[in-house]
């Protein structure tokens, strides 16, 4: 009888140890979930702060921009911003590039309020643009086409082969080729 009782107590003891180990595993698992959630919340908070700083900078650029001396269409400038990037550009990157590099064109075309500018540029991202060769694609499609240097070299060659006599296009091709090759040289060092 004592043997049976000892055996029964041993089984209860083993079961209790098993239960406690599962409780400990569960506690560790819950703590890891809480820790991951806190890390994600911190990352979201940092991202929000980063976006607020960018928005503040962009708004400051728009407010302090002079709109004198603008002689080109805004769509041409927006196309150039895609073409000069030499890599895949998202809509947000494109909008940031336009506001930081061409603020006078942006202000003249859409005003100084950042949210309105963003809305209009978001609409423009899905609008069609006809280039000087005659190709017509949406800005987002142009961005995909200009996602690498060989694609840009092909486009430059098409511009050159088209025998466009417009001096602006010829100088554009020359400048872009020079920039493209200079960028390659810098990457090789």
Domain boundaries, given as residue ranges, for the chain: 60-147
What tokens appear for 69 in the block?
């001396």
- Cβ atoms of 132 and 83 closer than 8 Å: no
| 24 C-beta neighbours (distance < 10 Å), count | 10
Average pLDDT of the segment spanning 59-66:
82
pLDDT digits (tens, 9 = 90+) for 108-162: 888 888 899 999 999 999 999 998 888 889 999 888 888 877 777 778 777 777 7
- Range list of H helices, the chain: 2-63, 74-83, 91-101, 103-110, 114-125, 139-145, 149-161, 167-188
Average pLDDT of span 171-187: 58
Nearest Cα to 103, choosing from 84, 117, 82? 117
pLDDT value at 86 more than 70: no
**Spatial distance between the Cα atoms of 189 and 183, rounded to a whole number of angstroms:** 10
Q: Which residues of 98-132 are buried (b: 16+ CB within 10 A; e: fewer)?
A: bbeebbebbbebbebebeebbebbeebbeeebebe
Question: Is pLDDT above 60 for 183?
Answer: no
What is the token pair recorded at 91?
């809509």
At 85, list the tokens.
Answer: 């990037």
Scored b (16 or more CB within 10 A) or e, 62-71 reads beebeeeeee
Q: What is the mean pLDDT of residues 164-188?
A: 56
User: Where is mean pLDDT largest: 18-22, 78-82, 115-119?
Assistant: 115-119
Confidence of residue 168 (pLDDT cuts 50, 70, 90): low
The arithmetic mean of pLDDT across residues 69-75, rounded, is: 81
pLDDT at 82 over 80: yes
117 and 111 in contact (C-beta within 8 Å)?
yes
Per-residue pLDDT, averaged over 68-89, amounts to: 80
For residues 187 and 174, the model is more confident at: 174
**Is the pLDDT confidence value at 189 over 50?**
no
pLDDT for 123 equals 95
In this structure, the number of other CB atoms found within 10 A of the CB of residue 170 comes to 13
Confidence (pTM): 0.64
Q: What are the C-alpha distances in Å from 177 to residues 135, 141, 155?
A: 20, 22, 11
- Considering 32-36, 121-125, 146-150, 171-175, the range whose residues carry the highest mean pLDDT is 121-125
The stretch 63-88 carries a mean pLDDT of: 79
């Amino acid at each position: 009888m004592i043997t049976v009782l000892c055996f029964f107590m041993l089984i209860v003891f083993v079961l209790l140890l098993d239960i406690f180990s599962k409780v400990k595993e569960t506690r560790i698992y819950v703590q890891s979930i809480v820790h991951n959630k806190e890390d994600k919340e911190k990352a979201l908070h940092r991202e929000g702060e980063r976006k607020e700083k960018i928005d503040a900078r962009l708004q400051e650029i728009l407010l302090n921009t002079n709109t004198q001396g603008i002689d080109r269409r805004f769509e041409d400038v927006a196309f150039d911003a895609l073409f000069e990037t030499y890599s895949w550009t998202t809509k947000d990157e494109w909008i940031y590039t336009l506001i930081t590099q061409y603020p006078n064109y942006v202000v003249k075309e859409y005003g100084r309020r950042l949210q309105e500018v963003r809305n209009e540029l978001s609409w423009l991202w899905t609008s069609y643009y006809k280039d000087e060769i005659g190709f017509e694609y949406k800005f987002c499609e142009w961005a995909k086409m200009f996602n690498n240097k060989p694609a840009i070299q092909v486009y430059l060659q098409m511009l050159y082969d088209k025998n466009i006599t417009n001096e602006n296009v010829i100088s554009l091709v020359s400048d872009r080729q020079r920039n493209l090759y200079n960028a390659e040289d810098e990457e090789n060092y």
